[in-house]
Amino acid sequence: MLAMNLNLTPPEGGSFRDLNILITGASAGIGRALALHVAQLGATCLLLGRNIGALEAVYDEILEKGGPEPAIIPFDLSNLDPERLNEMVEAIADRYHTLDALVHNAAILGDRIPFQQYRLTTWSQVFRINFDAPVALTQALLPLLQRSNKGAILFMSSSVGKQPRAYWGAYASSKYAVEGFAKLLVDELHNTSNIRVSIVNPGATRTKMRKAAYPAEDPSSVKSPADLMPLLTVLISPFSDAPRGHRFESNGTGEPIGEV
Ligand SMILES: NC(=O)c1ccc[n+]([C@@H]2O[C@H](COP(=O)([O-])OP(=O)(O)OC[C@H]3O[C@@H](n4cnc5c(N)ncnc54)[C@H](OP(=O)(O)O)[C@@H]3O)[C@@H](O)[C@H]2O)c1
């Protein structure tokens, strides 16, 4: 496979004006940082999450910093009731008509224990949020993404999504499944649509998930979510020349994940 290096020149201020970007898990960590960042570039953020208080804080911060008014989408991704999903999509379609980027960022870690001891209820919960939810949201929102000139779907994966490791249980397996689903989309969309599908492995990043996975680690020894912004913005920008159908590491190196 041909590896490539992405040009990570930051987009100009205001260049995301008139773009509608939906970010799952926008209440904390990388999703929160991305929402604040793209709003500063002029995008209208659709902040999806389960913690309304935390989403309101992101909403307020975007407005305080002069960004366009975002939307809060209260949605617990562990409950993918089709009726609620339809209502949500209809509300987005009515208000925004078009979606320019969908960022599948929300995830949970589950347990990090030997598979033999893994509780199947936890396993299902992890798969529901990390895998079923991106699949259901992609299917529901594809028509709105197709209305954009150059829509983007971004999957946040993990090193264990490419190469599962012992004791990473449902998290690794669900991310591996996510990467498989992204490859299917690349294959299915590359002749029929302009949508750019990408996978990112953000690598070690200072968030509550990282803290849960590595409680003894000094948080200052890993990069902050802000450090990922040049990469993530290039991958969701309709104006960048980032290739379609690639999987990227946090330093911008990427490889194709299908025929692109
Ligand atoms: N941080 C790292 O080192 C690292 C490394 C590799 C990959 N990643 C990936 O990067 C992405 C972001 O991770 P992060 O580190 O920023 O994690 P995080 O700080 O734990 O944030 C996860 C986000 O997902 C939301 N979420 C969880 N369950 C949800 C549900 N049922 N419904 C709706 N939202 C839900 C959380 O909401 P609440 O605030 O309500 O919990 C939060 O906003 C994930 O896909 C993760 O797998 C992270």
Would you tell me the crossing angle of helices 29-40 and 52-64 to the nearest 10 degrees? 30
Task: Specify the residue with its C-alpha closest to ligand 1, atom 46.
Answer: 107
Task: Specify the residue with its C-alpha closest to ligand 1, atom 19.
Answer: 29
Q: Alpha carbon of 137 to those of 133, 141, 145, 181, 183: distances in Å?
A: 6, 6, 11, 13, 16
Picking from 20, 167, 23, the residue whose alpha carbon sits closest to that of residue 98 is: 20
How remote is the CA of residue 126 from the centroid of ligand 1, in Å?
Answer: 11
Q: Are 116 and 166 in contact (CB under 8 A)?
A: no
The pick from 46, 56, 201, 207 for probing ligand 1's pocket by mutation, whose C-beta has the most ligand atoms within 8 angstroms, reads 207
Task: Specify the residue with its C-alpha closest to ligand 1, atom 31.
Answer: 77
pTM to 2 decimal places? 0.97
Residue 189 has pLDDT above 80, yes or no: yes
| Cα torsion 236, 239, 244, 247: sign | negative
Q: Please write the tens of the pLDDT for every residue from 144-165.
A: 999 998 899 999 999 999 999 9
Residue 259 has pLDDT above 90, yes or no: no
How remote is the CA of residue 47 from the centroid of ligand 1, in Å?
Answer: 13
The pick from 22, 129, 209 for probing ligand 1's pocket by mutation, whose C-beta has the most ligand atoms within 8 angstroms, reads 209
Residue from 59, 118, 167, 171 carrying the catalytic annotation: 171
Q: Please write the tens of the pLDDT for every residue from 222-257.
A: 999 999 999 999 999 998 989 999 999 999 999 999
Range 15-256 has CATH code 3.40.50.720:
yes
Q: What is the pLDDT of residue 6?
A: 85
The Cα 3–Cα 178 span in angstroms is 21
How remote is the CA of residue 114 from the centroid of ligand 1, in Å?
Answer: 22
Domain boundaries, given as residue ranges, for the chain: 15-256
The Cα 90–Cα 93 span in angstroms is 5
How remote is the CA of residue 99 from the centroid of ligand 1, in Å?
Answer: 22
Please state the atom number of ligand 1 nearest to the C-alpha of residue 209: 20
Q: What is the pLDDT of residue 2?
A: 62
Q: Please write the tens of the pLDDT for every residue from 83-114.
A: 999 999 999 999 999 999 999 999 999 999 99
Q: Among this protein's residues, is 171 annotated catalytic?
A: yes
